[in-house]
Amino acid sequence: MRGLRRKLAAGAPDAAVRLARHVPAGLLPKGGIYSLYHPVGSEIDPREIRLAGGAAALPVVVDREGPLAFRLHRSGDRLAPDAMGILAPPPEAPQVEPDVIFTPVLAFDRRGGRLGQGAGCYDRTIAALRALKPVVVIGVAYAGQELADVPMAPHDQRLDGILTETGYVQVR
């Protein structure tokens, strides 16, 4: 799937702009917080996404075995490598709990199945946030990353929707 994603990325240089056009209205409560991510490798870049009336955050790996933290981030703010070496807001940025999470996927299915990178960071994080409040989780991928069925383990968290460069799929 990583090889396929690299091929899809190479063939779609405008995917980030096209992706942002398909974000559905009404995802975010007024004054809510949404989390994007800093793309790694061939992950599709969600940073063109803007949800009106909300504030953007980025995930931060503080502990490789724990859930992600989320910190507010505005375009142009300083970023620093987190515990996984991914660029993220520094410790002085305010920590928040997002209402909408845009998460990268390696593969997805139309029932909300998501295959991530394998570390379980997003699954732990989504489970913890869903225990506190309603959270909408949107997988971000190239349309070609869709599978008929993504195998799911008991701890795996399902997506509420999938956003690709060709459209949006509402799951639940």
Q: Looking at the domain assignment, is residue 1 inside a domain?
A: no
Report how far Cα 150 is from the mean position of its chain's Cα atoms.
17
CATH assignment of the domain containing 149: 3.40.50.10420
Q: Looking at the domain assignment, is residue 14 inside a domain?
A: no
- The share of the chain scoring above pLDDT 90, in percent, equals 79
Supply the range of the domain harboring residue 96: 29-170
Q: Is the per-residue pLDDT at 7 higher than 80?
A: yes
Mean per-residue pLDDT for 82-111? 95
Per-residue pLDDT reduced to its tens digit, 37-85: 999 899 999 989 999 999 999 999 998 888 999 999 998 899 999 998 9
Query: What number of other Cβ atoms are within 10 A of residue 133's Cβ?
Result: 9
The Cα–Cα gap between 24 and 126 comes to: 21
Q: Looking at the domain assignment, is residue 12 inside a domain?
A: no
Q: Looking at the domain assignment, is residue 23 inside a domain?
A: no
Q: Looking at the domain assignment, is residue 17 inside a domain?
A: no
> CB–CB of 110/171 below 8 Å?
yes
Number of domains in the chain: 1
Q: Looking at the domain assignment, is residue 63 inside a domain?
A: yes
The confidence band for 116, taking pLDDT boundaries of 50, 70 and 90, is confident
Which token pair is 131?
């225990």
Q: Looking at the domain assignment, is residue 153 inside a domain?
A: yes
Q: Is the per-residue pLDDT at 172 higher than 90?
A: no
Could you give the count of Cα atoms lying within 13 Å of 18 in the half-sphere of its Cβ? 13
Q: Looking at the domain assignment, is residue 55 inside a domain?
A: yes
Model pLDDT, residue 118 = 66
